[in-house]
Amino acid sequence: MTQSTFTNKKDYIDENTPAVFYNMSIVTTSSYGGKTYTNTTDYTYDEPRRWTSPIATKVTKKESGNTNKYVVNTSQTYNDYGSITSAVDVLGVTTTYTYDATSHLLVGVSKPISATQTQYTEYVRDAVHANVTTIRVRVQGLTLTFSDVV
């Protein structure tokens, strides 16, 4: 049997401003083989901007009878348009996203793939509809190009 408990927060300013709801944490508890397993996910938000996408997530896993716990952290940063500008994954690897200054559409993604190499993915768009027409993937000395992307 599994039990989940959600902790939520309502941010109410006044009658002219819509309320914002945040899911602050989820705690899931289950039992199996005489042990209790607890997974806790805590979320952090950019509350001054009133954004409902978390900027940080912390997952903690515990097992009864075991003093060790497993903790995983991830985080994201956003620009003023709500687009992710960087994300840190569970391994601590930071991926960076760049956007066109005028259209605010994604133009590139940069992610380290080793201690000495970075993968850069570039998105080329048509001038009329801003559809992606070409994707270029570069890794130190190697370039792959995919054209006429639908």
pLDDT tens-digit series, residues 103-137: 999 999 999 998 888 999 999 999 889 999 999 99
Is the domain of 133 the same as that of 122?
yes
In this prediction, what percent of the chain has a pLDDT beyond 70? Answer: 95
Q: Phi first, then psi: what are they for 47, rounded to 5°?
A: -65, -35
CB-count burial class (<10 Å; 0-12, 13-18, 19+) for 116: exposed
Is the domain of 106 the same as that of 141?
yes
pTM score above 0.85: no
> What is the tally of structural domains in the chain?
2
Domain that holds residue 2: 1-90
Q: Is 49 helix (H, G, I), strand (E, B) or coil?
A: helix
Is the domain of 17 the same as that of 72?
yes
Using the predicted structure, report yes or no on whether residue 144 has a pLDDT greater than 60. yes
